[in-house]
Amino acid sequence: MARPDSHPSDYAERVLEVVERVPPGRVMSYGDIAEYLGEGGPRQVGAVMSAWGGGVPWWRVIRADGSPPPGHEVRALEHYAAEATPLRPGTSRVDMRAARWDGTELPG
Partner DNA sequence: GCAATGACTGGTA
Partner DNA sequence: TTACCAGCCATTG
- In terms of DSSP H, where are the helices of 22-107? 30-37, 42-52, 73-83, 96-99
- CB within 8 A of 72, min separation 6: which ones? 58, 59
C-alpha dist (Å) from residue 9 to 12, 16, 37, 93 = 5, 11, 14, 30
Burial per residue of 25-55, b for 16 or more beta-carbon CB atoms within 10 angstroms, e otherwise:
bbbbbbebbbbbbeebebebbbbbbbbbbee
Taking CB under 7 A as the binding criterion, the range among 47-55, 77-85, 98-106 that sits at the site for DNA is: 47-55
Size of the site for DNA (CB under 7 A): 32
| Of positions 9, 25, 83, 86, contacts DNA by CB under 7 A | 9
| Of positions 17, 24, 43, 78, contacts DNA by CB under 7 A | 43
| Of positions 29, 80, 99, 101, contacts DNA by CB under 7 A | 29
Is residue 61 involved in binding DNA (CB under 7 A)?
yes
- Judged by beta carbon, residue 75 or residue 107, the one nearer DNA is 75
> What part of residues 62-101 is at the interface with DNA (CB under 7 A)?
63-65, 69-70, 72, 88, 91
Is residue 46 involved in binding DNA (CB under 7 A)?
yes
